[in-house]
Amino acid sequence: SSIADGLTRGIEGVSDSISETFFEPVIRLGVTGLSRAGKTVFITSLVANLMDRGRMPGLVAAGDGRISAAFLQPQPDDTVPRFDYETHLGALTGAAPHWPESTRAVSQLRLSLRVRPSGLLSGFSGPRTVHLDIVDYPGEWLLDLGLMDKDFATWSAEMLTRLEGRGEGAEYLALAKETDGAAALEEPKAQALARAYTAYLTQARDAGYSDCTPGRFLLPGDLEGSPVLTFAPLPKPETTPRKSLWREMERRFEAYKSRVVTPFFRDHFARIDRQVVLVDVLGAIHRGPAAVEDMRQAMADILGAFRPGRNAFLSRLLRGRRVEKILFAATKADHLHHTQHGALAGIMSALMREARDRADFAGAETRAMAIAALRATTEETRPHEGGSVDCVRGTLLNEDGSRGKQAAFYPGALPDDPARLLTPARQGAEKWLDADYQVMRFAPAPLTLRPGDGPPHIRLDRAAQFLFGDRL
Ligand code: GDP
């Protein structure tokens, strides 16, 4: 009998550890946004603040002291690059803190949390392990969804029409018009077209346009120079003989869809449970009305990805799965005094309204917030012309990336009525944030601010609570 006892105990032991690994919940958190929106800083700061506990009171499990440990583990997907947390944190916390390298491709990081249960269960069971799998990917890649239900002829016609309206497109347009798509393919010609088209996309992006597809042309990763990225929109010729430039461009366009876009949506996007979309709203507002309108449009397109019913390709991939929560976060709120944070969140919310209605339709819970993943400023109220203004103070970044002098700024007032920002009639008529905003390139503050300076982030804990607090 003692052998049998031992056996039973042994089996119980085994089944315990099996059930533990099988029932450890995994939350896949997608982090996206257009280039420079703040993805890298967001993830680095989120992980640092969860590991170095005590600064996330707005995350209920953390505030209640129920998170007993937080540690990094090997991620589950062996072929996806790991998010380079240590290097990014090193950049932000070194002797002379500097901003890390931005997101260029998809990457992943697993943070595991040991959490004591709350409420009724707390007396009965020990701590659980919850895995947070963070998936970082460029928002530009989501825009490619719009290519999936188009053929090359339709896409070409749409792009060439768009270029007509953008000064940055003039050079490519001229080249495309003198190109005969019916002529036999010559690789140097195809390369020249792709190069010129990429040059246009780069200029358009630098001018503040958000919608610059195909997404991989700007962020090619290891596909740089490959045939799937060597195509460009062309005017359709009368005839399209075999081996013509048009036929080959058409083939590559289809290859881009099936070999580049489809795997991304299948392997990464389709598996996300919770999503944060970071948006540099202040940057767009500063660039002016056309940039705001373009960003609104691009965000609506991006968020089309969260309304799978409208896209046959995506519905097939998702097979009923969906993102449960989506947070729209206006980043870099530390550029404004907190008295303006409400207005910023209001603008974020208005910008997202159209897109949000669609996502709500798909059953996801959504919220808009103004956050700063890493606070680079402190607040200061200064006398001004008999009254006072609410300023932010920070260390400026020199052109060469070194830390410059300290200065306090008042960037101007945000329009109090978000609708004013989005009225097409006003486009080109106004500039909303003062010239001061232009020079507000702050260096990151050392992660430990002095006591009394306030927390090292703005509402990062609230963002975390919305995104995954309910699962802890
Ligand atoms: P990504 O391209 O989305 O990965 O963007 P990054 O995370 O690299 O952020 C781009 C830039 O935005 C950084 O280099 C910083 O200059 C700025 N930035 C990002 N987050 C913050 C923040 O919380 N506060 C401030 N002041 N600047 C930020």
The CATH code of the domain that includes 355 is: 3.40.50.300
Nearest CA to ligand 1 atom 9: 38
Same domain, 277 and 239: no
Same domain, 138 and 150: no
Number of domains composing the chain: 2
Average pLDDT (54-62) is 91
pLDDT on residue 203: 92
Q: Ligand 1 within 6 A of 214 CB?
A: no
Q: Ligand 1 within 6 A of 34 CB?
A: no
Average pLDDT (110-126) is 82
Kindly give the pairing relationship between strand 387-397 and strand 377-384.
antiparallel
Is a pLDDT exceeding 80 seen at residue 62?
Answer: yes
The answer to whether the CB of 35 falls within 8 A of the CB of 101 is no
Is a pLDDT exceeding 50 seen at residue 11?
Answer: no
Average pLDDT of the chain, as a whole number: 85
Give domain status of residue 449, yes or no.
no
Buried b / exposed e over 279-312, threshold 16 CB at 10 Å, is: bbbbbbbbbbbebbbbbbebbbbbbbbbbbeebe
Distance of CA 348 to the CA centre of its chain: 14
pLDDT on residue 25: 92
Same domain, 25 and 159: no
Same domain, 99 and 177: no
ipTM of predicted assembly, 2 dp: 0.99
Is a pLDDT exceeding 90 seen at residue 371?
Answer: yes
Give domain status of residue 411, yes or no.
no
Cα–Cα distance for residue pair 142/211, rounded to 1 Å: 10
| Structure confidence by residue, pLDDT tens digits, 317-360 | 887 778 889 999 999 999 999 999 999 998 888 888 766 665 55
Is a pLDDT exceeding 80 seen at residue 199?
Answer: yes
Q: Which of 75-84, 202-211, 357-366 has the lowest mean pLDDT?
A: 357-366
Cα–Cα distance for residue pair 470/268, rounded to 1 Å: 23
Q: Which of 219-223, 238-242, 331-335, 414-418 has the lowest mean pLDDT?
A: 414-418
Is a pLDDT exceeding 80 seen at residue 43?
Answer: yes
Distance of CA 311 to the CA centre of its chain: 21
Same domain, 21 and 34: yes
Same domain, 344 and 289: yes
- Give the residue numbers spanning the domain of 32: 2-142+267-375+454-471
Instruction: Report CA(264)–ligand 1 centroid distance (Å).
Output: 24
Q: Which of 48-57, 94-103, 209-218, 307-316 has the lowest mean pLDDT?
A: 307-316
Give 173's contacts (C-beta < 8 A, 6+ positions apart): 160, 163, 164
Give 266's contacts (C-beta < 8 A, 6+ positions apart): 317
| Structure confidence by residue, pLDDT tens digits, 164-182 | 888 899 999 999 999 999 9
The answer to whether the CB of 111 falls within 8 A of the CB of 51 is yes
Give domain status of residue 352, yes or no.
yes
Q: Which atom of ligand 1 is nearest to the CA of 442?
A: 26
Same domain, 15 and 123: yes
Cα–Cα distance for residue pair 238/153, rounded to 1 Å: 12
pLDDT on residue 431: 62
CA distances from 131 to 46, 71, 73, 328, 429 (A): 14, 10, 9, 23, 49
Give domain status of residue 410, yes or no.
no
User: The whole model's pTM is what?
Assistant: 0.87
Q: Looking at residue 395, what DSSP letter applies?
A: E
Q: Which atom of ligand 1 is nearest to the CA of 45?
A: 23
Q: Ligand 1 within 6 A of 460 CB?
A: no
Cα–Cα distance for residue pair 192/274, rounded to 1 Å: 41
Query: Binning pLDDT at 50, 70 and 90, where does residue 240 land?
Result: very high
Instruction: Report CA(280)–ligand 1 centroid distance (Å).
Output: 9
Is a pLDDT exceeding 60 seen at residue 21?
Answer: no
Q: Ligand 1 within 6 A of 233 CB?
A: no
Is a pLDDT exceeding 50 seen at residue 6?
Answer: no
Closest to 151 in 3D by CA, of 240, 267, 266: 240
Give domain status of residue 385, yes or no.
no
Same domain, 55 and 104: yes
Is a pLDDT exceeding 90 seen at residue 311?
Answer: no
The answer to whether the CB of 267 falls within 8 A of the CB of 319 is no
Is a pLDDT exceeding 60 seen at residue 77?
Answer: yes
Closest to 42 in 3D by CA, of 99, 106, 105, 95: 99
| Structure confidence by residue, pLDDT tens digits, 431-470 | 667 667 777 889 887 765 455 556 789 999 999 999 999 9
Average pLDDT (113-139) is 86
Mutate to test the pocket of ligand 1, among 99, 210, 403 (most ligand atoms within 8 A of CB): 99
pLDDT on residue 18: 46
The answer to whether the CB of 410 falls within 8 A of the CB of 353 is no
pLDDT on residue 148: 87
Instruction: Report CA(42)–ligand 1 centroid distance (Å).
Output: 8
- The H-or-E segment that residue 408 falls in is strand 403-409
Cα–Cα distance for residue pair 56/49, rounded to 1 Å: 7
Q: Which atom of ligand 1 is nearest to the CA of 41?
A: 7
Q: Which residue has the tokens 């910008």?
A: 351
Highest mean pLDDT among 92-96, 204-208, 370-374, 435-439: 370-374
The answer to whether the CB of 431 falls within 8 A of the CB of 293 is no
Nearest CA to ligand 1 atom 19: 38
Q: Encoding tokens for residue 341?
A: 């944070």
Give domain status of residue 62, yes or no.
yes
Closest to 299 in 3D by CA, of 366, 235, 236: 366
The answer to whether the CB of 46 falls within 8 A of the CB of 136 is no
Instruction: Report CA(36)–ligand 1 centroid distance (Å).
Output: 6
Q: Ligand 1 within 6 A of 262 CB?
A: no
The answer to whether the CB of 157 falls within 8 A of the CB of 193 is no
Instruction: Report CA(92)–ligand 1 centroid distance (Å).
Output: 11
pLDDT on residue 82: 96
- The region, left, alpha or beta by phi > 0 then psi within -120 to 50, assigned to residue 368 is beta
Nearest CA to ligand 1 atom 28: 332
Instruction: Report CA(444)–ligand 1 centroid distance (Å).
Output: 9
Domain end (from 264, 298, 328): 264
Give domain status of residue 63, yes or no.
yes
Same domain, 250 and 349: no
Cα–Cα distance for residue pair 389/381, rounded to 1 Å: 6
Q: Give the torsion through C-alpha atoms of 301, 304, 306, 308, to 10 deg.
A: -150
pLDDT on residue 93: 86
Nearest CA to ligand 1 atom 6: 38
Q: Ligand 1 within 6 A of 418 CB?
A: no
Query: Binning pLDDT at 50, 70 and 90, where does residue 137 land?
Result: very high
Nearest CA to ligand 1 atom 16: 99
Q: Ligand 1 within 6 A of 40 CB?
A: yes
Cα–Cα distance for residue pair 253/256, rounded to 1 Å: 5
Instruction: Report CA(247)–ligand 1 centroid distance (Å).
Output: 42
Q: Encoding tokens for residue 427?
A: 């486009």
Q: Which of 22-31, 149-158, 254-263, 298-307 has the lowest mean pLDDT?
A: 298-307
Mutate to test the pocket of ligand 1, among 332, 396, 459 (most ligand atoms within 8 A of CB): 332
Same domain, 63 and 124: yes
Same domain, 215 and 233: yes
Nearest CA to ligand 1 atom 14: 99
Q: Ligand 1 within 6 A of 45 CB?
A: no
Cα–Cα distance for residue pair 284/96, rounded to 1 Å: 29
Domain end (from 235, 264, 293): 264
Higher pLDDT, 21 or 436: 436
CA distances from 277 to 186, 300, 371, 460 (A): 41, 12, 12, 13
Domain end (from 264, 284, 306): 264
Give 57's contacts (C-beta < 8 A, 6+ positions apart): 63, 461
Give domain status of residue 445, yes or no.
no
Same domain, 31 and 62: yes
pLDDT on residue 333: 95
Buried b / exposed e over 354-367, threshold 16 CB at 10 Å, is: ebbebbeebebebb
